[in-house]
Structure 1
Amino acid sequence: MNNNIDDAVEREIERCLDLESPRSFFLFAGAGSGKTLSLVNALNYINNKYRDLFLSQGKYVGVITYTNAACDEIIHRTHDNPIFHISTIHGFCWSIIQGFNEDIRAFIKDNLILKIQGLNAKITGVRDTNTSKCKKNVHSLEKAKKRLAELDSIYEFTYNPNSNSQFGKDSLSHTEVISLTTHFLQNKPIFQSIFVQKYPFLLIDESQDTHKELIEVLLELEDNYKSIFLLGLIGDDMQRIYSQGKSDLPSIIKNHWQTPQKKMNHRSQKRIIELANNIRGKRNGIEQLARDDKQGGHVHLFILNNTDNNTLENEVKICCKMAEITHDELWNKEGQVKKLYLEHRMAAIQQDFIELYDIFHNDNKYNTLILEGTITELSFFSKLITPLMEALLQNDNFVVMELIRNSSTILKGIESPLTLAETVTTETLTDTKKSVQKLADLFFSNININIIDILTILEEEKIFTIPPKLDEAFQLYKNSIEIQSKKIEEETVWIKFLTIPYQQLINYTKYINDETSYATHHGVKGLEFDRVMVVMNDKDKRGRGGLSASYEKLFGVVAESETDIRNKRNGKETDLQRTRRLFYVTCTRAKQSLALVAYTNSPEILKYNMLERKWFDEKEITIL
């Protein structure tokens, strides 16, 4: 076996990267194939060939990555090269529409007018205006009218999801930034021309999970400008985990595209790759190969009855058994095993943020954002309030004042903590310290505080500006007797959030930032771990919109539903297809050894099915 058989793929990509005759490509890059290396190699090739030309003509290579971590990694590996514009999808989209204020205003105005018309139609003629649905529509109508009235007064639109204080009327949402970019690229020829001239090469990592509407527009753009514009898509449809992605992307690639495929998996041991190939089946005709120096590895399936609720005890027991099977004592060491779950909800139960998770995941507007960790209002706490409390706990006065200086309405605009004494009166500084101390006393005296307890002090002391959505919910909560007495039929998402224990928000933040030993397929794309435990329990998951994931269906314990059969007949995604992809993503994170923990009401049937499919040998299955 030649570990370097994929080198020919790198040369094939290089031949595409020709300004005189660009050729778009879709690079299949499965788990552990080294797609980041291929991306960096392509960028280095462009730099060596076109750097001077790009600098002199103001051209760039656009690179869209899925996560901030991937973005930082590529920037680091390409030495912060000025001809590369490397960003996440939202950051990149904002960079190309920023400054088109009148076009943005017109787009938002048109959408608001349509929204207002739709809401008016829903409200008109309603017999009972006291229903929660009607009240919600009236509230949405008032908000839409208010935003429409404010539009003309906005001088410049802004977007910064990582800001602690940017929540004003001029701010755009994540969804709006994507929608605006899609609209401009599809409907504005001048914008299209400017874009392809500025970015003759656009490379998209994890393309299978990029917003389908944007991908479709970019494919159309490429077809219209293929003589001067190259679109490079990198990914693997088997690793698509978000519903927003374009399904079966390889099948819609045009004939003039190149479609190189990487065959190697440099990450995992051979036994893990064999299982991954079985999970994938014959999809895309892909079968990955192991390196010469990775011909071993361990996989083991542990089957438990789903009436067994001793989850944590079982995990400890399984780690002990894996240490015996693999002769690797690190299975018994804290922090050395990555535990992956079917979905965030299962992890939320284990990590104690289930109430917070359910509030946002059960709402169509936030159900994807909560998975990505990109709800702006939550960052107000995770990036400001919690760090402030941690700094106070550690008596780090410099960090405390830095946070207050950057975000407080009292000290905002002061250039340096060292100039505080010259800029702010002693009285103001003393009052600020007292206000912050009140917040600290709340934290340190009561571990069971709720979000509303924090907002109460923030409003009283006016330390920071409360984000509008939170403030609106806070005012409703305070002023509505119905809400305070819990008599209303349906609370808004943010009013529900107010009553959540703050500790749940802290737990969620640690989890989403990968500061625990737990994760899901959403949070580990592109990551790898020596020892992985995948926990599967359909009892703890909760699907949305009729689509879920079911390991018992994947393992043949539960039959496909009528909905699955109907979806399959209509060319729509089924639970089984989605589960197979999620299972593939989690299993392929493992480098050395993999423990699979399946809870079911039919352990013997599950074992029989796995042996029949030849996914596991008899010695690799244990019923506990």
Structure 2
Amino acid sequence: MALGKYEIAKLRSNEIDACIIKTLQSGQSFRVEAGAGSGKTYSLNKVIDWIQDNYWQSLNLKKQKVACITYTNAGVDVIASRLRMESFIEPMTIHTFAWGLIKQFEHELKKKVVEENLLPDGIKGDDFDMVHYEIGARYVENRVLYLHHNDVILLFARFMDNKKFRQLMTVQYPIVLIDEYQDSLKAIIDQFLNWFIDMKEGPQFGFFGDAWQTIYEKSSCGIIDSANIAVIGKEANFRSQQVIVDVLNEMRPELPQICATDENDGFVKVITCNDFCGDRQKGYYKGELPNDILIERIDNLQEKLDKDYQWNDEHITLMITHKMLAKQQSYVNLLEMLDERLKDGDDPYLEFFSEVVEPLYSALEEKRLTRIFDVLGSRGYPIEYKGQKRIWSEFEKRLEEGRKRTIGDVMKVLFELQGIQIPIPPKVQESHKKYLDDPENQYGRSTIGHLYGISYSEVLNTLEFLSPNAEYSTDHGVKGEEYQNVLFVVGRGWNNYQFDKYMGCDSSKLKGNEYDAYVRNRNLFYVCCSRPRKRLVLFITVPVEGDFMVYLKKLFGVENICTYSEFMSEDK
């Protein structure tokens, strides 16, 4: 009896997992390059299980640990849930890992903090006695300096130049596993390469991830290359049907995948707007459809997909046209104000609202005291006596009222608060102080004054859009996710992404910034095209011509490309 696709893919996957274990046993550092849907997490879990079964005695006797570094706290929790009681494997974020090592060098740590000028405004070296890291905000309290997230990374990279420090890390963590390696901080990975891997010294490293799924971050390392790293490719796709896998294999022939499902009722389709004969947008959005036409076409397209293909069963719409999204999701003023910072998700105010203000409000609303403790950091239990209960109750009431008005109203509540210390980031504190000191100067009026006048509802809409559960998304939150159906809208809106320029170009002729831009575009294109299990529709709202059209025909087949008018007139 012939084997089915799943059995064939599973056999190949098992062979590769055995190869990973064999490399682990050899002591050589390795990189598992796992394409979309290939079971990276499964392989990582197999390695963890094998280490627990086989290295318990040798490592436990020496009181050594295996570090398993992952990108998010949620990832840490997932790995921790699989470990045995009192396991010698420690799942943690890179910040936790870095702090756990550098804090052991207390005297040198204080010295380096001063040398690198990692101090709040107005603070000198003799204003603090100890250095701690808890909530990721930089401030001094009770002669203790608390570090910012970025400070910990910079200090760790500096400490890596110290031989004694490297020896300590090697003794404590003879094996270091890194999940989603491509998103790791370049400053740290470069030091691991320079001092350990390239010199064949130090811990054994196991990197798990996919360089093609690096979502653009200036600080991310991307692909990790060294002659001393064994590269092991995962060659199965357990997510997508054959029609999707064929597209991915055409896109990435150096890592071909075996489709693991016999289901074959999906499809791929490229829908262009080459049928539009009117005037297109100019300037920043050159070539884009007029906004009203753009929104109308997307709405009509989704309606037809829902009607003809039950698209609304489980789907997501991935958009690169952020301006149109802002109008649909009602945060257009905030987009115009924050511009690239909102597009990149790295604005200090937005980060503060996302990581502190909204989690704190939710915790108060739901009466979850432990969550309040988590948000504020371990500075003591947040509500210890009756008077504090009244303070917190008044704070919740005022914050609720502020959230119904403007960003400025929310900030006023936070800064006028008495009896509760909210971890407000230094950049936010600094800009707020500048505004209060002279609200009529150009900075105050045009920047902070404008921001504070925007309805806070736009912040809530933005955070909802950026969440991984949103019906609409850009690159935020989509990596690692999968959906039955994906509508991928390609248009103007972000300087970082111009698929019509880079997809189909000869990358071997590109250098420097041009090559970096190509990789950035290629990666996001790959990530978006590899999310669906069953159906993928590309809706391209800018003109499709030249090398881009040739590339699309090669990837999807000329029979799967049509204009918007042709698709809308089709009978299923």
Show the counterpart of 1:525.
Answer: 479
Match of 2:231 among 235, 239, 259: 259
Distance (Å, rounded) in 2 between the aligned partners of 1:574 and 1:233? 22
Show the counterpart of 1:112.
Answer: 117
SS of 2:156's equivalent? helix
Give 1:508 deviation, angstroms. Answer: 2.8
Summarize deviations over 1:488-526 as a string: whole Å, max 9, x none: 49967x666444422222223333332421222242221
Distance (Å, rounded) in 2 between the aligned partners of 1:460 and 1:227? 54
Aligned amino acid, residue 253 of structure 1: S
Is the 8 Å Cα contact of residues 279 and 580 (structure 1) preserved in structure 2?
A: no
1:61 aligns with 2:66: yes
Is the 8 Å Cα contact of residues 408 and 463 (structure 1) preserved in structure 2?
A: no
Give 1:93 deviation, angstroms. Answer: 2.0
1:317 aligns with 2:297: no
SS of 2:147's equivalent? coil
Show the counterpart of 1:452.
Answer: 408
Aligned amino acid, residue 94 of structure 2: I
Distance (Å, rounded) in 2 between the aligned partners of 1:346 and 1:155? 52
Show the counterpart of 1:17.
Answer: 24
Give 1:241 deviation, angstroms. Answer: 2.0
Match of 1:615 among 533, 536, 556: 556
1:576 aligns with 2:533: no
Give 1:555 deviation, angstroms. Answer: 5.4
Q: 1:5 to 1:357 in 2, by over 3 A?
A: same
Summarize deviations over 1:37-91 as a string: whole Å, max 9, x none: 0000001000000123323322111112223333322222335662111122223
Show the counterpart of 2:357.
Answer: 381
Alignment of 1:181-196 (within 5 A): 181-185=156-160, 187-196=161-170
Is the 8 Å Cα contact of residues 340 and 534 (structure 1) preserved in structure 2?
A: yes
Alignment of 1:268-417 (within 5 A): 268-280=240-252, 282=253, 285-304=254-273, 305=276, 306-310=288-292, 311-323=294-306, 328-329=309-310, 331-332=311-312, 336-342=314-320, 347-348=325-326, 350-356=328-334, 362=340, 370=346, 375-376=351-352, 378-385=354-361, 387-388=363-364, 391=365, 398-399=367-368, 413=380
Distance (Å, rounded) in 2 between the aligned partners of 1:611 and 1:407? 47
Is the 8 Å Cα contact of residues 530 and 592 (structure 1) preserved in structure 2?
A: yes
Unaligned runs of 5+ in 2: 277-287, 566-572
**Number of residue pairs aligned between Structure 1 and Structure 2:** 538
1:223 aligns with 2:177: no
1:213 aligns with 2:191: no
Show the counterpart of 1:126.
Answer: none
Aligned amino acid, residue 194 of structure 2: E
Show the counterpart of 1:173.
Answer: 148
Show the counterpart of 1:134.
Answer: none
Alignment of 1:64-79 (within 5 A): 64-79=69-84
Give 1:188 deviation, angstroms. Answer: 0.8
Summarize deviations over 1:445-468 as a string: whole Å, max 9, x none: xx3x22221232344452533526
Give 1:257 deviation, angstroms. Answer: 3.2
Show the counterpart of 1:424.
Answer: 386
SS of 1:437's equivalent? helix
Q: 1:105 to 1:341 in 2, by over 3 A?
A: farther
Distance (Å, rounded) in 1 between the aligned partners of 2:215 and 2:433? 38
Distance (Å, rounded) in 1 between the aligned partners of 2:306 and 2:317? 15
Distance (Å, rounded) in 2 between the aligned partners of 1:436 and 1:84? 40
Q: TM-score, normalised by structure 2?
A: 0.82
Is the 8 Å Cα contact of residues 71 and 86 (structure 1) preserved in structure 2?
A: yes
Distance (Å, rounded) in 1 between the aligned partners of 2:556 and 2:241? 16
Distance (Å, rounded) in 2 between the aligned partners of 1:355 and 1:101? 47
Aligned amino acid, residue 616 of structure 1: G
Q: TM-score, normalised by structure 1?
A: 0.76
Q: 1:323 to 1:86 in 2, by over 3 A?
A: same
Summarize deviations over 1:564-593 as a string: whole Å, max 9, x none: 99x824585243332121100111111111
Distance (Å, rounded) in 2 between the aligned partners of 1:104 and 1:361? 37
Show the counterpart of 1:589.
Answer: 531
Distance (Å, rounded) in 1 between the aligned partners of 2:204 and 2:177? 8
Show the counterpart of 2:12.
Answer: 5
1:202 aligns with 2:161: no
Q: 1:574 to 1:52 in 2, by over 3 A?
A: closer
Give 1:33 deviation, angstroms. Answer: 0.7
Give 1:193 deviation, angstroms. Answer: 0.5
Show the counterpart of 1:245.
Answer: 220
Q: 1:344 to 1:166 in 2, by over 3 A?
A: farther
Distance (Å, rounded) in 2 between the aligned partners of 1:214 and 1:438? 43
Q: 1:22 to 1:238 in 2, by over 3 A?
A: same
Give 1:413 deviation, angstroms. Answer: 4.4
Aligned amino acid, residue 537 of structure 1: G
Give 1:199 deviation, angstroms. Answer: 0.9
User: Percent identity between the aligned chains?
Assistant: 24
SS of 1:276's equivalent? helix
Alignment of 1:99-178 (within 5 A): 99-112=104-117, 146-147=122-123, 149=124, 151-161=125-135, 170-178=145-153
Distance (Å, rounded) in 1 between the aligned partners of 2:347 and 2:429? 24
Is the 8 Å Cα contact of residues 34 and 266 (structure 1) preserved in structure 2?
A: yes
Q: 1:404 to 1:320 in 2, by over 3 A?
A: closer
Q: 1:92 to 1:513 in 2, by over 3 A?
A: farther
Summarize deviations over 1:354-376 as a string: whole Å, max 9, x none: 5545655646xx98662899935
Match of 2:91 among 75, 82, 86: 86
Distance (Å, rounded) in 2 between the aligned partners of 1:357 and 1:270? 39
Distance (Å, rounded) in 2 between the aligned partners of 1:498 and 1:99? 43
Unaligned runs of 5+ in 1: 114-142
Show the counterpart of 1:478.
Answer: 436
Distance (Å, rounded) in 1 between the aligned partners of 2:360 and 2:395? 15
Q: 1:358 to 1:46 in 2, by over 3 A?
A: farther
Is the 8 Å Cα contact of residues 33 and 234 (structure 2) preserved in structure 1?
A: yes
Distance (Å, rounded) in 2 between the aligned partners of 1:275 and 1:16? 31
Distance (Å, rounded) in 1 between the aligned partners of 2:181 and 2:349? 20
Aligned amino acid, residue 245 of structure 2: I
